């Protein structure tokens, strides 16, 4: 079985869905942000504050390369698709699911979240602009788009399962 990657804007349910799918298929699940935090000994928030977004994106690419070799479910950060190199790795190394929902739903989930640097440092309008800029990148390439709005976790899983070949 190829690795499975979950991509999408922050707040669409990548980690929640990935964990549940891992339980169902008995496959390890790796949250990329947690992987980076453990490796660096710092939170994502601390990495952003101390070194900036570009440094974090370098760590993200390195983590993606390392994790792509593992047969697991990898839940990515929302910005992983910002780099063309990352999109290429995703397309070549596994099955990619783009989880999505309308921005208003995302905003209702994220508003006031102090643990996400991009939410804390940006207004609703700036996040909407980021969402609109990233959306075509999520859809480009090799991803299967799954809508999460008004769906339970198990309903999203049912939408994913037909695309997964279990060996």
pLDDT in tens, 70-94: 889 999 988 899 899 999 989 888 8
CATH of domain 14-148: 3.40.50.300
Taking the alpha carbons at both ends of the chain, their separation in whole angstroms is 6
Do 139 and 93 form a contact (C-beta atoms < 8 A)? no
Q: Is the pLDDT of residue 48 over 90?
A: no
Q: Is the pLDDT of residue 49 over 70?
A: yes
What pLDDT was estimated at residue 71? 85
pLDDT in tens, 111-167: 766 666 666 666 778 888 989 999 999 987 678 999 999 999 999 999 999 998 765
Which candidate, 35, 32, 46, places its Cα nearest to that of 115?
46
Which alpha helices (DSSP H) does 27-163 contain, by range? 32-40, 44-51, 53-68, 84-93, 103-110, 117-120, 124-139, 153-160
Which candidate, 7, 6, 13, 5, places its Cα nearest to that of 106?
13
Task: Give domain limits for the chain.
Answer: 14-148
Does the pTM of the predicted model rise above 0.75? yes
What pLDDT was estimated at residue 69? 83
């Amino acid at each position: 079985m190829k690795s499975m990657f979950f991509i999408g804007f922050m707040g669409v349910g990548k980690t929640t869905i990935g964990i549940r799918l891992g339980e169902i298929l008995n496959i390890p699940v790796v949250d990329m942000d947690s992987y980076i935090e453990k490796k660096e000994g710092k939170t994502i928030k601390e990495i952003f504050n101390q070194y900036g977004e570009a440094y974090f994106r370098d760590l993200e690419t390195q983590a993606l390369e390392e994790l792509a070799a593992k047969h697991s479910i990898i839940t990515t950060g929302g910005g992983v698709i910002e780099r063309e190199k990352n999109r290429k790795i995703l397309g070549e190394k596994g099955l990619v699911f783009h989880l999505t929902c309308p921005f208003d739903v995302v905003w209702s989930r994220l508003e006031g979240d102090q643990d996400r640097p991009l939410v804390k440092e940006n207004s609703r309008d700036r996040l909407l602009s980021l969402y609109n800029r990233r959306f075509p990148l999520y859809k480009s390439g090799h991803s299967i788009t799954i809508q999460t709005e008004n769906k339970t976790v198990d309903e999203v899983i049912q939408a994913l399962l037909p695309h997964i070949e279990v060996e």
